[in-house]
Amino acid sequence: MNPNRPTDSLPAPGPDALAQSAALTEVIRERIAAAGGWLPFDQYMELALYAPALGYYSGGAMKFGRRAEDGSDFITAPELSPLFATTLARPIAQALQESGTRRVMEFGAGTGKLAAGLLTALADLGVEIDGYAIVDLSGELRERQRATIEAQAPAFAAKVEWLGALPDAFEGVVVGNEVLDAMPVRLVVRKLGAWHERGVVMQDEGFAFDDRAVTPDAQIELIDAAIDEANDDEPFTEYLTETHEAALAFTKTVCTMLKRGAAFFIDYGFPRREFYHAQRATGTLMCHYRHRAHADPFLYPGLQDLTAHVEFTGIAEAGVETGADLLGFTSQARFLMNAGITDVLSALDPADVKRFLPAANAVQKLLSEAEMGELFKVIAFSRGIEGTLDAFAAGDRSHAL
């Protein structure tokens, strides 16, 4: 790490965490040296997030929680309110019923709260499933998920299994909440019409960016045209953005695996024309540490989350290329309202102020344009489902992709 980097506003990690970060830093330095002194950013990001036992998601960091004081870095919708899972269960139940399937698979299950909530809510809806599979790379998170499910949904714990690899075929419903944004991205920058790839080099005790000129590949050529189209050919001295090969490949893999049923992905991002607007000329890469967002991906490697917004048009194209149907695309707010989140909230007794007010405040955050309601989107693919689902019946934005 660079000792001159300003970190005054961020809480300092403890000695064990610093030791883990130092160990990962050494692994990354060795990888950079082996690559000739320059490492593409997507490879740095993959190590920072997923290096065995040391990366952010593969190590033991707290990650999910409500506040910095509990050692966490960010909060997700399932952590914010159990009503998220209760509401999401409704379109999942409809997809299971209309496809005639009886299994659920979740990617990146976090603390297990979404799984526990879905298992309970599906049963309350009268939908019986044969199994609930969780795919997660982190052994530490697997144990947290197991403990959460056993505590919050003990009647269904026996139905849950953890997978170390994807099956060749799956029939049922796939769920991925904030999974696509955590996949490694390349950083590419257009400078006065010439394209460069942004990589990582060693600097003092840490790392720094270094740009190298590249011949545009198919992905960069697509981005080049998209930038001009989104901005009416406005010239840019410099335009920095990301490519999303890992997320596209993941989408294709999931949609190929899905033989019957549906796949839901919930994440923050934009359709292509919005994604490459001038407002995002400095890219969308973000870092999250102790509930504070900042722009330094080299701070405390392995101890902070690195994410990039999702370019949903590419995700839609990747899924459809496999032969899957695009089931729908809309904002999280519209999806949850269509699925009946206000009905779920109204089932609570307003006179029970201690329970109702926090629930109402959480729902407001899930729906508000100023919070998660507009930035977060829901995209879904299907096989063997006629038409669409109630959650996409109004306000579908597939035409904007």
Average of per-residue pLDDT across 102-110: 94
Q: Which pLDDT score, from 0 to 100, does residue 60 have? A: 62
Per-residue model confidence as pLDDT tens digits over 20-35: 999 999 999 999 999 9
Is the model's pLDDT at 67 over the cut of 90? no
Q: Which pLDDT score, from 0 to 100, does residue 74 have? A: 55
Return the higher-pLDDT residue of 27 and 144. 27
CB atoms within 10 A of CB 51: 20
Residue-number span of the structural domain to which 211 is assigned: 13-401
What confidence category does residue 108 fall into, taking pLDDT thresholds of 50, 70 and 90? confident
Average of per-residue pLDDT across 245-274: 98
Is the model's pLDDT at 358 over the cut of 80? yes
Is the model's pLDDT at 1 over the cut of 60? no
In a domain, 7, yes or no: no
Q: Which pLDDT score, from 0 to 100, does residue 61 have? A: 59
Distance of alpha carbon 265 from alpha carbon 175, whole angstroms: 6
Distance of alpha carbon 225 from alpha carbon 380, whole angstroms: 26
The DSSP result for 259-294, as a single string, is EEEEEEEEEEEE-HHHHTSGGGTB---EEEETTEEE
Is the model's pLDDT at 73 over the cut of 80? no
Q: Which pLDDT score, from 0 to 100, does residue 215 have? A: 97
Average of per-residue pLDDT across 200-210: 95
pTM above 0.95, yes or no: no
Residue type, 1: M
Distance of alpha carbon 31 from alpha carbon 286, whole angstroms: 23
In a domain, 4, yes or no: no
What confidence category does residue 233 fall into, taking pLDDT thresholds of 50, 70 and 90? confident
Distance of alpha carbon 235 from alpha carbon 195, whole angstroms: 14
In a domain, 330, yes or no: yes
Work out how many domains the chain is built from and give that number: 1
In a domain, 5, yes or no: no
Q: Which two tokens stand for residue 376?
A: 């977060």
Q: Which pLDDT score, from 0 to 100, does residue 147 have? A: 95
How much of the chain exceeds pLDDT 90, in percent?
Answer: 82
- Domain of residue 66, CATH code: 3.40.50.12710
In a domain, 67, yes or no: yes
